[in-house]
Structure 1
Amino acid sequence: MEVPPSEATEDESAMNNDQDVARLRARVAELESQVEASGPRTAGTTAHRSAWRSTSSAILIVVACVLAPLSVTSVWASSILSDPDRYVSTVAPIAEDPGVQAAITDSVTTAIIENLDVAGLTTRTLDALAQSPNLPPRVATALPALAAPLSQGITTFTHDQVSNLVSSPKFASVWNEVNRVAHTQVVKLLEGNQGGVVSAQADTITLNLAPVIAQVKQRLLDRGFSLASNIPTIDKSFVLVQSQGITKAQTLYVVLNKLGLWLPFIVAGLFGAGVLLAHDRRRSLLRGALGVALAMVVLGVALSLVRSLYVETTPAHILTSQSAGAVFEDLVQFLRSGLRAVGVLALLVALAAFLTGPATAAVRTRSTLSGGIGSLRGSAESAGLHTGRFGSWVFARRRGLRLAAFLAGGTALLLWTNPTVGTVLVIALLVVLALVLIEFLAGPPAPGQGSSGGSSPRGEAATVAKP
């Protein structure tokens, strides 16, 4: 019995379908087995890469926070101590301290009186007068007793003249000249060399007061004290610093001076790389900024401890504790200013990172600011002020403009010489004003009209709403 052609075709078609289904099932089973075999390995690799990125990010940010105090100190060492003008401006306030003025006055007066031998000179002079035959015997007998009061009077007169000079504005210029000449020797001293106007002996840094004594000599001559012409050239030393840490400071200075101005850029690079590697960059930026601020606090505490050590180790006969503290503060004033500026900048960065986050307070703050700017824009438009195509152009490129504002502020701070807290706050305020201006000018294009970037607000809303 023959099978009709139509029935044979149906049987062959059914058989082919069964074969296709079987092949597909076999292929699915093969793929499932491959997925089961490779799935855990892929998940493990992904987890390993994620852990590596997180660890690397944390290490880079921690290293940047640790090096941040050294970077501030290296800028101080290389740009303040190594620059004559900045060094002179740093030590200039020291001459205005009453304790330092008193110490210099006593030191210069002692050097002049000792070199003039006032006591011996008055005694010999009075003895010669007593031997004069024209003097009555009672006067001749009384003259030697006047040696001590006369010597004391000359000493007091000299001390008053020195004090008047040291407390006058003219001394400030003399002090600056002395320190300008001494600057090269200070650098050599910190590099471990000795000799010259400034020297270090037994952990003591001294300054030659010969120019000051020369000014006093001329002042005495101008006051009619002709005896001052006998004052020779005196190399009298005045102790600037006496501490057991000078040798350690020399080593630290050499290291910091070699790092110079490069260390801040290295720290910024490490910090930026750590943030870029992090999975949650905003949170890493927040934590890293707080870490830098904490590092500046640690540096400030370290300076306070060093100050206490310096004051305690400075002998009272050289400088009083109050004067020693004033000298230390004058020497590190720019360092303190720098660490405060960096600390404030870090706190501002942390605040910006927090305000861009999902916290309730941050969301409310952004909503309030956005609503306020929107109200200002609406009021301007109601008054007939429209940004038109320029507003659409700003709206399409607002992200790039925001980034440009941040980069401009950061570049200004990096290139600014010795920024202060005020400098940081002013630049931060300018950046905020730039961001507000961008949001104010960024007028969305009219409905149905595409922006210059090729998208419309409605399209953006649809894209955001799309799951």
Structure 2
Amino acid sequence: MSSPNEPSVPEPPRPGSAAREANGAARGSPAGRIVQSTVSAIVLVLTCILVPVSVLTVWVHDVVLDTDRYVATMAPLAKNEAVQDAAVHRATEAVAVRVDARAVTDDVADWLESQGLPPRAADAVRGLAPQVDSAIDGAVTKVATRFVESDQFADVWTGANRVGHAAVVHALTGQGRGAVGVSDGTITLNIGTLVEQIKEALVNAGLSPASKIPEVDKQMVLFHSEELGKIRNAARLLDVLGIWLPVFTVLLGAGGVLLARHRRRALAWTALGAAFACLVVAIGLVVGRRYYLDHLPAQVQSPAAAAAIFDTIVRFLRVSLRTTIALGVVVALGAYLIGPGRLPQAVRAGSDRTADSAAVWADRHRIRTGRAGTWVETNRRWVTLGAMLVVVLVFALWNHPTVLTILLLVLILLGLLALIALFAASGRVNGGRETGTGAGAAADRPTGPPPPGG
């Protein structure tokens, strides 16, 4: 036993304690916290920027570069009135039945003069040339309109788009051949098949000169932009990134949230930031559409058809942007409702009270969950997390989700959470009955008058 005057011997440090203290000091130091917060903020801002870029990537891969989806996207345009009018106009120009009405009327007038027709009457016959031309043009337009409004045109339109899809893909890499061509920033659809069908219909209708129309290779403009070169470069980049960019964006965002000191708050702000970024892109798409339609070149004969084609091609992109905005708002709202604020606490407390009341009512009517309810009550946090992960997995595997998809999954998640709350409340009731306390004991107490002599 040492005397009070002897110096005390320091206790040797425990193994590993020094390293733990050093790591804790490093994590708790102001400089470490600043670095961690800065890195997290940078990563989350980058995530918000990459979210709309990922949406563009999915659009390029699933619409522009997928033949079946591209054809399905373009198919309804065959019934669009503006596109039909443009097709009639372009096909009529392509057919271009060139009956020399002046020569025909001159020959008829000369023959009639040789048969004794007065010169004034012969001149009147020669003056019929414009009416003959107009009658021929009217016949061509009528036949073309009848064909374009039929199911045959829908088949021709769909077939041309399917055959030409490879050329659209090549168009975005700087090349283009076949039914769809690219030249000087213009993407066109070859309507030669349509012209041949109209020629045949004209011959069958009795307009025999139509059989002498030479082979034509006429184009219908689908899209024109002086910035097509830049669009090609962007599409090529998105093609290289492929489907991995969305996965990378999700992982990047998850890493940024895990690095954040306040993870729930970081998740909410990241979700709102991604939604805002998609909103900016959606607004830019509206502005770009207006600018494009206000600056249509002479190659585009029908502004209405150009608007219909533009809207059809970007329809999936618009839906995806709206879906992402809705998802961001839902995630931010969910992150808020699990927080410590007064309103979230009041909502959760009210839900638990409702579940408890329902469980007590069920117990009085001998509706009980038994051990399942007790297990859910004991492992409620993990069960809730599992339900949320299942819903997230379903959303991730959903093929092209929409805003309605998100609403449906939210309703399903709310139903699962309500079911978990009911099972947990039933477990509490069962536990209270076994211990003779709480709501379970109250549920077992008789509600009628006491027996005589009690």
Measured against the shorter chain, the TM-score band is 0.7 to 0.9
1:326-349 deviation line (CA, Å, top 9, x unaligned): 321111000000011111011100
Query: Take 1:259 and 1:248, find their aligned partners in 2: how far apart are those partners?
Result: 17
The reply to whether residue 182 of structure 1 matches residue 164 of structure 2 is yes
The reply to whether residue 306 of structure 1 matches residue 285 of structure 2 is no
Query: Take 2:116 and 2:82, find their aligned partners in 1: how far apart are those partners?
Result: 49
Q: What is the Cα deviation at residue 239 of structure 1?
A: 1.1
Q: What is the Cα deviation at residue 88 of structure 1?
A: 1.3
| Aligned pairs (5 A) from 1:336-355 | 336-355=318-337
* TM-score (norm. length: structure 1): 0.84
The residue that corresponds to 1:97 in the other structure is 80
Of the candidates 236, 249, 256, which is equivalent to residue 231 of structure 2? 249
Query: Take 2:171 and 2:369, find their aligned partners in 1: how far apart are those partners?
Result: 63
Query: Take 1:350 and 1:290, find their aligned partners in 2: how far apart are those partners?
Result: 6
The residue that corresponds to 1:446 in the other structure is 431
Query: Take 1:364 and 1:78, find their aligned partners in 2: how far apart are those partners?
Result: 45
The reply to whether residue 73 of structure 1 matches residue 56 of structure 2 is yes
- RMSD of aligned residue pairs (Cα, Å): 2.8
Amino acid at match of 1:274: G
Q: What is the Cα deviation at residue 308 of structure 1?
A: 2.1
Query: Take 1:180 and 1:65, find their aligned partners in 2: how far apart are those partners?
Result: 36
1:354-410 deviation line (CA, Å, top 9, x unaligned): 001111111111122222222222222222210011212222332222122211221
Query: Take 2:218 and 2:304, find their aligned partners in 1: how far apart are those partners?
Result: 24
The reply to whether residue 117 of structure 1 matches residue 90 of structure 2 is no
Residues 161 and 180, structure 2, Cα contact 8 Å, conserved in 1: no
The reply to whether residue 382 of structure 1 matches residue 361 of structure 2 is no
The residue that corresponds to 1:392 in the other structure is 374
Q: What is the Cα deviation at residue 135 of structure 1?
A: 4.5
Q: What is the Cα deviation at residue 199 of structure 1?
A: 2.0
Q: What is the Cα deviation at residue 140 of structure 1?
A: 4.4
- More deviation in 343-352 or 319-328? 319-328
Q: What is the Cα deviation at residue 431 of structure 1?
A: 1.4
Query: Take 1:147 and 1:188, find their aligned partners in 2: how far apart are those partners?
Result: 48
> Is the radius of gyration larger for structure 1 or structure 2?
1
The reply to whether residue 62 of structure 1 matches residue 41 of structure 2 is no
Q: In the superposition, relative to structure 1, how do residues 20 and 53 fare at CA in structure 2: closer, same or farther (>3 Å)?
A: same
The residue that corresponds to 1:213 in the other structure is 195
The reply to whether residue 202 of structure 1 matches residue 187 of structure 2 is no
Query: Take 1:306 and 1:68, find their aligned partners in 2: how far apart are those partners?
Result: 20
Task: Give the 3-state SS of the residue equivalent to 2:127 in structure 1.
Answer: helix
Q: In the superposition, relative to structure 1, how do residues 428 and 193 fare at CA in structure 2: closer, same or farther (>3 Å)?
A: same
Q: What is the Cα deviation at residue 20 of structure 1?
A: 4.4
Q: What is the Cα deviation at residue 302 of structure 1?
A: 1.7
Residues 103 and 318, structure 1, Cα contact 8 Å, conserved in 2: no
- More deviation in 337-346 or 231-240? 231-240
Q: What is the Cα deviation at residue 322 of structure 1?
A: 4.0
Q: In the superposition, relative to structure 1, how do residues 129 and 65 fare at CA in structure 2: closer, same or farther (>3 Å)?
A: same
Number of residues of Structure 1 aligned to a counterpart in Structure 2: 426
Q: What is the Cα deviation at residue 61 of structure 1?
A: 1.2
Task: Give the 3-state SS of the residue equivalent to 2:431 in structure 1.
Answer: coil
Task: Give the 3-state SS of the residue equivalent to 1:240 in structure 2.
Answer: strand
Residues 341 and 420, structure 1, Cα contact 8 Å, conserved in 2: yes
Task: Give the 3-state SS of the residue equivalent to 1:196 in structure 2.
Answer: coil
Q: What is the Cα deviation at residue 152 of structure 1?
A: 0.7
Q: What is the Cα deviation at residue 448 of structure 1?
A: 8.9
Q: In the superposition, relative to structure 1, how do residues 369 and 328 fare at CA in structure 2: closer, same or farther (>3 Å)?
A: same
**Gap runs ≥5 in structure 2:** 14-20, 440-454
The reply to whether residue 137 of structure 1 matches residue 117 of structure 2 is yes
1:120-148 deviation line (CA, Å, top 9, x unaligned): 2x333333333436744145443322221
Query: Take 1:320 and 1:117, find their aligned partners in 2: how far apart are those partners?
Result: 24
Query: Take 1:230 and 1:375, find their aligned partners in 2: how far apart are those partners?
Result: 87
Query: Take 1:45 and 1:372, find their aligned partners in 2: how far apart are those partners?
Result: 42
Of Structure 1 and Structure 2, the greater helix share is in: 1
Query: Take 2:275 and 2:127, find their aligned partners in 1: how far apart are those partners?
Result: 70
Task: Give the 3-state SS of the residue equivalent to 2:128 in structure 1.
Answer: helix
| Aligned pairs (5 A) from 1:450-465 | none
1:235-256 deviation line (CA, Å, top 9, x unaligned): 1011111211111111111011
Query: Take 1:422 and 1:231, find their aligned partners in 2: how far apart are those partners?
Result: 53
Amino acid at match of 2:167: Q
| Aligned pairs (5 A) from 1:412-427 | 412-427=394-409
| Aligned pairs (5 A) from 1:274-285 | 274-285=256-267
